[in-house]
Amino acid sequence: MKVLLIGFPMVGKSTLYRAAAGGDAKGDVTAVPVPDPRFDRIVAQVKPKKATPATVTLADDGEALAPTGKMFSNKLLEAAKKAEVLLHVVRAFESDFVPHHADLNPARDRESVDVEMVLTDLAIVENRLERLAKSQNVKSPGHPDYLEKRLFERLKPVLEEGTPIRAMEFDEEETKIVKNFQFVSAKPCVVAFNVGEADVSNPPAAVAKEIETLRASGTVAFAVSANLEEELAQLDANDRAEFLAGYGLTESAGAKVVQAVYGALGLITFFTAGENDTRAWPLRAGSTSLKAAGTIHNDIAKGFIRAEVVHYADYDEAGSLDAAYKAGKMSLEGKEYVIQDGDLLHIRTSA
Protein backbone atom coordinates (compact mmCIF):
# COMPACT_ATOMS: atom_id res chain seq x y z
CA MET A 1 0.00 0.00 0.00
CA LYS A 2 1.48 3.34 -1.04
CA VAL A 3 1.14 6.37 1.22
CA LEU A 4 1.95 9.73 -0.38
CA LEU A 5 3.01 12.56 1.91
CA ILE A 6 1.64 15.94 0.84
CA GLY A 7 1.99 19.41 2.33
CA PHE A 8 2.99 23.02 1.73
CA PRO A 9 6.71 23.91 1.50
CA MET A 10 8.70 23.76 4.76
CA VAL A 11 5.98 22.15 6.88
CA GLY A 12 8.21 19.18 7.76
CA LYS A 13 6.88 16.74 5.18
CA SER A 14 10.28 15.28 4.25
CA THR A 15 11.43 15.39 7.87
CA LEU A 16 8.44 13.29 8.92
CA TYR A 17 9.12 10.92 6.00
CA ARG A 18 12.69 10.34 7.20
CA ALA A 19 11.57 10.01 10.81
CA ALA A 20 8.80 7.52 10.00
CA ALA A 21 11.27 5.47 7.97
CA GLY A 22 13.26 5.03 11.18
CA GLY A 23 16.48 6.36 9.70
CA ASP A 24 16.29 3.79 6.89
CA ALA A 25 14.91 6.06 4.17
CA LYS A 26 16.16 4.98 0.76
CA GLY A 27 15.52 7.77 -1.72
CA ASP A 28 12.00 9.13 -1.73
CA VAL A 29 10.12 5.81 -1.48
CA THR A 30 10.65 3.48 1.49
CA ALA A 31 8.91 0.37 2.83
CA VAL A 32 8.34 0.75 6.57
CA PRO A 33 7.73 -2.41 8.65
CA VAL A 34 4.49 -2.49 10.62
CA PRO A 35 5.43 -2.77 14.33
CA ASP A 36 3.52 -5.70 15.85
CA PRO A 37 4.53 -7.43 19.11
CA ARG A 38 2.41 -10.43 18.08
CA PHE A 39 4.53 -10.97 14.99
CA ASP A 40 7.72 -10.64 17.06
CA ARG A 41 6.36 -13.25 19.46
CA ILE A 42 5.55 -15.68 16.65
CA VAL A 43 8.97 -15.23 15.02
CA ALA A 44 10.76 -15.76 18.34
CA GLN A 45 8.87 -19.03 18.89
CA VAL A 46 8.93 -20.42 15.31
CA LYS A 47 12.51 -19.29 14.54
CA PRO A 48 11.93 -19.31 10.76
CA LYS A 49 14.69 -19.01 8.16
CA LYS A 50 12.99 -15.82 6.98
CA ALA A 51 10.66 -13.40 8.76
CA THR A 52 8.64 -10.97 6.66
CA PRO A 53 6.64 -8.28 8.51
CA ALA A 54 3.77 -6.40 6.94
CA THR A 55 4.95 -3.11 5.43
CA VAL A 56 3.60 0.28 4.46
CA THR A 57 5.28 2.08 1.56
CA LEU A 58 5.86 5.77 2.27
CA ALA A 59 6.46 8.08 -0.68
CA ASP A 60 7.88 11.59 -0.59
CA ASP A 61 8.21 11.76 -4.37
CA GLY A 62 5.56 14.40 -5.00
CA GLU A 63 6.16 18.13 -5.28
CA ALA A 64 5.11 20.42 -2.43
CA LEU A 65 1.65 21.97 -2.58
CA ALA A 66 1.68 25.45 -4.09
CA PRO A 67 0.72 28.04 -1.44
CA THR A 68 -1.22 30.09 -4.00
CA GLY A 69 -3.00 29.37 -7.26
CA LYS A 70 -3.26 25.74 -8.34
CA MET A 71 -2.05 23.80 -5.30
CA PHE A 72 -1.66 20.44 -7.06
CA SER A 73 0.85 20.49 -9.91
CA ASN A 74 0.29 17.92 -12.64
CA LYS A 75 3.15 15.83 -11.24
CA LEU A 76 1.75 15.91 -7.71
CA LEU A 77 -1.76 15.17 -8.94
CA GLU A 78 -0.54 12.09 -10.82
CA ALA A 79 1.35 10.90 -7.74
CA ALA A 80 -1.75 11.42 -5.59
CA LYS A 81 -3.92 9.42 -7.99
CA LYS A 82 -1.55 6.44 -7.77
CA ALA A 83 -1.44 6.43 -3.96
CA GLU A 84 -3.83 4.46 -1.76
CA VAL A 85 -3.62 6.94 1.12
CA LEU A 86 -2.70 10.63 1.33
CA LEU A 87 -0.81 11.75 4.44
CA HIS A 88 -1.30 15.50 4.77
CA VAL A 89 1.41 17.10 6.93
CA VAL A 90 0.14 20.36 8.40
CA ARG A 91 2.34 22.99 9.99
CA ALA A 92 1.48 23.46 13.68
CA PHE A 93 4.77 24.97 14.87
CA GLU A 94 5.92 28.57 15.09
CA SER A 95 8.53 29.64 12.52
CA ASP A 96 9.85 32.86 11.05
CA PHE A 97 11.23 31.06 8.01
CA VAL A 98 8.13 29.61 6.37
CA PRO A 99 7.77 31.64 3.15
CA HIS A 100 3.97 31.51 3.11
CA HIS A 101 1.13 31.72 5.62
CA ALA A 102 3.42 33.40 8.14
CA ASP A 103 0.66 33.36 10.73
CA LEU A 104 0.13 29.94 12.25
CA ASN A 105 -3.30 28.51 11.43
CA PRO A 106 -3.44 24.68 11.11
CA ALA A 107 -7.22 24.63 10.52
CA ARG A 108 -6.93 27.04 7.59
CA ASP A 109 -4.06 25.14 5.97
CA ARG A 110 -5.77 21.79 6.34
CA GLU A 111 -9.11 23.05 5.06
CA SER A 112 -7.57 24.81 2.06
CA VAL A 113 -6.09 21.53 0.83
CA ASP A 114 -9.38 19.69 1.35
CA VAL A 115 -11.15 22.36 -0.67
CA GLU A 116 -8.59 22.10 -3.47
CA MET A 117 -9.06 18.33 -3.67
CA VAL A 118 -12.83 18.74 -3.87
CA LEU A 119 -12.55 21.43 -6.58
CA THR A 120 -10.15 19.24 -8.58
CA ASP A 121 -12.66 16.40 -8.57
CA LEU A 122 -15.58 18.72 -9.26
CA ALA A 123 -13.87 19.90 -12.47
CA ILE A 124 -13.49 16.27 -13.59
CA VAL A 125 -17.15 15.53 -12.85
CA GLU A 126 -18.39 18.64 -14.66
CA ASN A 127 -16.26 17.92 -17.74
CA ARG A 128 -17.40 14.33 -17.84
CA LEU A 129 -21.07 15.31 -17.53
CA GLU A 130 -20.66 17.72 -20.47
CA ARG A 131 -19.31 14.87 -22.60
CA LEU A 132 -21.97 12.44 -21.44
CA ALA A 133 -24.66 14.94 -22.40
CA LYS A 134 -23.71 14.29 -26.03
CA SER A 135 -23.95 10.51 -25.73
CA GLN A 136 -27.06 8.60 -26.77
CA ASN A 137 -25.96 5.71 -24.56
CA VAL A 138 -26.95 7.57 -21.39
CA LYS A 139 -30.53 6.56 -22.15
CA SER A 140 -29.69 2.84 -22.08
CA PRO A 141 -29.85 1.39 -18.53
CA GLY A 142 -26.84 -0.81 -17.86
CA HIS A 143 -24.58 0.95 -20.36
CA PRO A 144 -21.38 2.42 -18.82
CA ASP A 145 -22.37 5.93 -19.94
CA TYR A 146 -25.77 5.59 -18.25
CA LEU A 147 -24.16 4.40 -15.01
CA GLU A 148 -21.55 7.16 -15.07
CA LYS A 149 -24.12 9.89 -15.70
CA ARG A 150 -26.32 8.67 -12.87
CA LEU A 151 -23.35 8.55 -10.48
CA PHE A 152 -21.82 11.87 -11.53
CA GLU A 153 -25.15 13.64 -11.17
CA ARG A 154 -25.10 12.44 -7.57
CA LEU A 155 -21.45 13.47 -7.05
CA LYS A 156 -21.79 17.00 -8.43
CA PRO A 157 -24.02 18.58 -5.74
CA VAL A 158 -22.08 16.86 -2.98
CA LEU A 159 -18.78 18.25 -4.28
CA GLU A 160 -20.35 21.69 -4.77
CA GLU A 161 -21.18 21.67 -1.06
CA GLY A 162 -17.48 21.08 -0.33
CA THR A 163 -17.85 17.46 0.78
CA PRO A 164 -15.09 15.05 -0.33
CA ILE A 165 -16.04 11.91 -2.22
CA ARG A 166 -14.55 9.74 0.54
CA ALA A 167 -17.47 10.75 2.76
CA MET A 168 -20.00 9.12 0.42
CA GLU A 169 -21.14 5.51 0.19
CA PHE A 170 -21.28 3.57 -3.08
CA ASP A 171 -22.46 0.23 -4.33
CA GLU A 172 -20.05 -2.19 -6.04
CA GLU A 173 -20.58 -0.80 -9.54
CA GLU A 174 -20.22 2.80 -8.40
CA THR A 175 -17.05 1.95 -6.48
CA LYS A 176 -15.47 0.64 -9.68
CA ILE A 177 -16.30 3.87 -11.52
CA VAL A 178 -14.90 6.04 -8.71
CA LYS A 179 -11.67 4.02 -8.66
CA ASN A 180 -11.38 4.25 -12.44
CA PHE A 181 -11.41 8.05 -12.33
CA GLN A 182 -8.90 8.15 -9.43
CA PHE A 183 -10.58 11.08 -7.67
CA VAL A 184 -8.21 12.60 -5.12
CA SER A 185 -10.93 13.49 -2.61
CA ALA A 186 -11.97 9.83 -2.68
CA LYS A 187 -8.60 8.79 -1.27
CA PRO A 188 -8.45 8.06 2.47
CA CYS A 189 -6.62 11.00 4.02
CA VAL A 190 -4.58 11.00 7.23
CA VAL A 191 -3.68 14.35 8.79
CA ALA A 192 -0.44 14.78 10.75
CA PHE A 193 -0.11 18.06 12.65
CA ASN A 194 3.60 18.82 12.95
CA VAL A 195 4.01 20.53 16.31
CA GLY A 196 7.07 21.97 18.05
CA GLU A 197 9.17 19.82 20.38
CA ALA A 198 7.76 21.54 23.46
CA ASP A 199 4.21 20.68 22.40
CA VAL A 200 4.68 17.05 21.46
CA SER A 201 3.17 15.55 24.63
CA ASN A 202 0.54 18.27 25.00
CA PRO A 203 -0.50 19.76 21.63
CA PRO A 204 -1.83 23.34 21.53
CA ALA A 205 -5.58 23.73 22.08
CA ALA A 206 -6.19 24.65 18.42
CA VAL A 207 -4.46 21.48 17.25
CA ALA A 208 -6.21 19.30 19.82
CA LYS A 209 -9.54 20.72 18.70
CA GLU A 210 -8.76 20.03 15.04
CA ILE A 211 -7.76 16.45 15.82
CA GLU A 212 -10.96 15.93 17.80
CA THR A 213 -13.10 17.40 15.00
CA LEU A 214 -11.42 15.31 12.31
CA ARG A 215 -11.69 12.08 14.29
CA ALA A 216 -15.37 12.77 14.94
CA SER A 217 -15.90 12.98 11.17
CA GLY A 218 -14.04 9.72 10.58
CA THR A 219 -10.68 11.19 9.49
CA VAL A 220 -7.57 9.77 11.15
CA ALA A 221 -5.46 12.57 12.67
CA PHE A 222 -2.60 12.89 15.14
CA ALA A 223 0.09 15.27 16.39
CA VAL A 224 3.81 14.64 15.93
CA SER A 225 7.07 16.57 16.17
CA ALA A 226 8.92 15.64 12.97
CA ASN A 227 12.23 17.24 14.04
CA LEU A 228 12.20 15.45 17.36
CA GLU A 229 11.24 12.14 15.73
CA GLU A 230 14.03 12.44 13.16
CA GLU A 231 16.54 12.75 16.00
CA LEU A 232 14.91 9.78 17.69
CA ALA A 233 15.24 7.64 14.56
CA GLN A 234 19.02 7.91 14.73
CA LEU A 235 19.21 6.24 18.16
CA ASP A 236 19.46 2.54 18.96
CA ALA A 237 16.41 0.75 20.35
CA ASN A 238 17.27 1.13 24.05
CA ASP A 239 18.16 4.81 23.82
CA ARG A 240 15.08 5.38 21.68
CA ALA A 241 12.75 4.01 24.36
CA GLU A 242 14.39 6.20 27.00
CA PHE A 243 14.18 9.21 24.69
CA LEU A 244 10.48 8.63 24.08
CA ALA A 245 9.75 8.27 27.77
CA GLY A 246 11.57 11.53 28.46
CA TYR A 247 9.04 13.34 26.29
CA GLY A 248 6.07 11.45 27.65
CA LEU A 249 5.65 9.43 24.45
CA THR A 250 4.91 5.74 24.08
CA GLU A 251 5.43 5.22 20.35
CA SER A 252 7.58 6.52 17.51
CA ALA A 253 6.51 8.50 14.44
CA GLY A 254 6.78 5.36 12.33
CA ALA A 255 4.33 3.54 14.60
CA LYS A 256 1.94 6.50 14.57
CA VAL A 257 2.00 6.75 10.79
CA VAL A 258 1.52 3.02 10.25
CA GLN A 259 -1.34 2.81 12.75
CA ALA A 260 -2.96 5.85 11.13
CA VAL A 261 -2.73 4.24 7.69
CA TYR A 262 -4.15 0.98 9.02
CA GLY A 263 -7.03 2.93 10.55
CA ALA A 264 -7.70 4.94 7.40
CA LEU A 265 -7.80 1.81 5.24
CA GLY A 266 -9.62 -0.33 7.80
CA LEU A 267 -6.87 -2.95 7.89
CA ILE A 268 -6.17 -5.88 10.17
CA THR A 269 -3.24 -8.32 10.20
CA PHE A 270 -3.18 -12.09 9.85
CA PHE A 271 -0.16 -14.38 10.07
CA THR A 272 1.30 -17.44 8.38
CA ALA A 273 3.84 -19.24 10.54
CA GLY A 274 6.17 -21.46 8.52
CA GLU A 275 9.66 -22.71 9.30
CA ASN A 276 10.94 -21.36 5.99
CA ASP A 277 9.04 -18.08 6.05
CA THR A 278 6.82 -16.54 8.74
CA ARG A 279 4.82 -13.57 7.52
CA ALA A 280 2.43 -10.84 8.62
CA TRP A 281 -0.19 -9.89 6.02
CA PRO A 282 -2.36 -6.74 5.93
CA LEU A 283 -6.02 -7.36 5.04
CA ARG A 284 -9.19 -5.30 4.91
CA ALA A 285 -11.34 -5.87 7.99
CA GLY A 286 -14.33 -8.02 7.12
CA SER A 287 -12.46 -10.01 4.46
CA THR A 288 -12.99 -13.74 4.09
CA SER A 289 -10.50 -16.59 4.27
CA LEU A 290 -10.68 -16.85 0.47
CA LYS A 291 -9.57 -13.21 0.20
CA ALA A 292 -6.75 -13.92 2.66
CA ALA A 293 -5.69 -16.89 0.54
CA GLY A 294 -5.59 -14.63 -2.51
CA THR A 295 -3.49 -12.13 -0.59
CA ILE A 296 -0.90 -14.86 -0.07
CA HIS A 297 -1.03 -16.07 -3.69
CA ASN A 298 -3.66 -16.27 -6.41
CA ASP A 299 -2.95 -20.00 -6.92
CA ILE A 300 -3.68 -20.66 -3.25
CA ALA A 301 -7.07 -18.97 -3.63
CA LYS A 302 -7.83 -21.00 -6.77
CA GLY A 303 -7.05 -24.29 -5.03
CA PHE A 304 -8.65 -23.34 -1.70
CA ILE A 305 -10.19 -26.25 0.24
CA ARG A 306 -10.18 -25.23 3.90
CA ALA A 307 -8.43 -22.78 6.22
CA GLU A 308 -6.86 -24.01 9.42
CA VAL A 309 -7.36 -21.12 11.85
CA VAL A 310 -5.86 -20.46 15.28
CA HIS A 311 -6.79 -17.20 17.01
CA TYR A 312 -3.75 -15.33 18.28
CA ALA A 313 -4.96 -15.33 21.90
CA ASP A 314 -5.20 -19.13 21.79
CA TYR A 315 -1.76 -19.38 20.19
CA ASP A 316 -0.27 -17.07 22.81
CA GLU A 317 -1.82 -19.03 25.67
CA ALA A 318 -0.72 -22.40 24.25
CA GLY A 319 2.81 -21.21 23.52
CA SER A 320 3.11 -22.65 20.01
CA LEU A 321 1.03 -23.72 17.05
CA ASP A 322 1.58 -27.40 17.80
CA ALA A 323 0.39 -26.89 21.37
CA ALA A 324 -2.65 -24.93 20.16
CA TYR A 325 -3.54 -27.73 17.72
CA LYS A 326 -3.17 -30.37 20.46
CA ALA A 327 -5.37 -28.28 22.77
CA GLY A 328 -8.12 -28.31 20.14
CA LYS A 329 -7.80 -24.59 19.44
CA MET A 330 -7.57 -25.02 15.65
CA SER A 331 -10.79 -24.70 13.66
CA LEU A 332 -11.37 -25.69 10.03
CA GLU A 333 -13.09 -22.89 8.16
CA GLY A 334 -14.53 -22.51 4.67
CA LYS A 335 -14.27 -19.73 2.09
CA GLU A 336 -16.75 -17.44 3.82
CA TYR A 337 -15.06 -17.36 7.21
CA VAL A 338 -14.34 -13.73 8.19
CA ILE A 339 -10.71 -13.31 9.23
CA GLN A 340 -10.15 -11.90 12.71
CA ASP A 341 -7.26 -9.60 13.56
CA GLY A 342 -4.29 -11.74 14.60
CA ASP A 343 -5.52 -15.04 13.14
CA LEU A 344 -2.80 -17.56 12.25
CA LEU A 345 -3.72 -19.33 8.99
CA HIS A 346 -2.71 -22.43 7.11
CA ILE A 347 -4.59 -22.84 3.84
CA ARG A 348 -5.29 -26.36 2.61
CA THR A 349 -5.29 -26.43 -1.18
CA SER A 350 -5.92 -28.94 -3.95
CA ALA A 351 -2.52 -28.24 -5.48
Question: In this predicted model, what pLDDT tens digit does every residue of 150-186 receive, in sequence order?
Answer: 999 999 999 999 999 999 999 999 999 999 999 999 9
* CATH number assigned to the domain comprising residue 155: 1.10.150.300
Mapping DSSP to helix (H, G, I), strand (E, B) and coil, where does residue 43 land? Answer: helix
How many whole angstroms separate alpha carbon 92 and alpha carbon 133?
A: 45
Mapping DSSP to helix (H, G, I), strand (E, B) and coil, where does residue 90 land? Answer: strand
Residue 273 lies in a domain: no
Letter string b/e over residues 282-292, b meaning 16 or more CB atoms within 10 A of that residue's CB: bbeeebbbbeb
Contact 22, 244 (CB under 8 A): no
Record the pTM.
0.89
| One domain for residues 94 and 16 | yes
How many whole angstroms separate alpha carbon 289 and alpha carbon 338?
A: 6
Residue 58 lies in a domain: yes
How many whole angstroms separate alpha carbon 148 and alpha carbon 156?
A: 12
Residue 110 lies in a domain: no
Cite the beta strand spans of 178-262 per DSSP E: 189-195, 220-224
Number of other residues whose CB lies within 10 A of the CB of residue 102? 10
Domain that holds residue 71: 2-35+42-102+186-264
Domains of the chain: total: 3
Residue 307 lies in a domain: yes
How many whole angstroms separate alpha carbon 274 and alpha carbon 254?
A: 27
User: Where a domain ends, among 139, 160, 183?
Assistant: 183
State the sign of the Cα–Cα–Cα–Cα dihedral 5, 62, 98, 217. Answer: negative
State the sign of the Cα–Cα–Cα–Cα dihedral 94, 96, 100, 102. Answer: positive
pLDDT of residue 200: 84
Residue 175 lies in a domain: yes
| One domain for residues 127 and 47 | no
| One domain for residues 194 and 77 | yes
| One domain for residues 311 and 260 | no
Q: pLDDT 10s digit of each residue in the chain, 351 long? A: 899 999 999 999 999 998 888 767 778 898 888 989 999 999 999 999 999 999 999 999 888 999 878 899 999 999 999 999 999 999 999 887 776 656 889 999 999 999 999 999 999 999 999 999 999 898 888 899 999 999 999 999 999 999 999 999 999 999 999 999 999 999 999 999 999 988 888 888 999 999 999 998 889 999 999 988 888 888 877 787 787 777 777 778 888 899 899 989 999 999 999 999 999 999 999 999 999 999 999 999 999 999 999 999 999 999 999 999 999 999 999 999 999 999 999 999 986
| One domain for residues 95 and 232 | yes
| One domain for residues 96 and 230 | yes
pLDDT of residue 249: 75
| One domain for residues 177 and 246 | no
* CATH number assigned to the domain comprising residue 313: 3.10.20.30
| One domain for residues 77 and 134 | no
How many whole angstroms separate alpha carbon 276 and alpha carbon 69?
A: 54
| One domain for residues 139 and 167 | yes
| One domain for residues 241 and 343 | no
Cβ neighbors of 117 (< 8 A, separation 6 or more) are: 72, 164, 184, 185
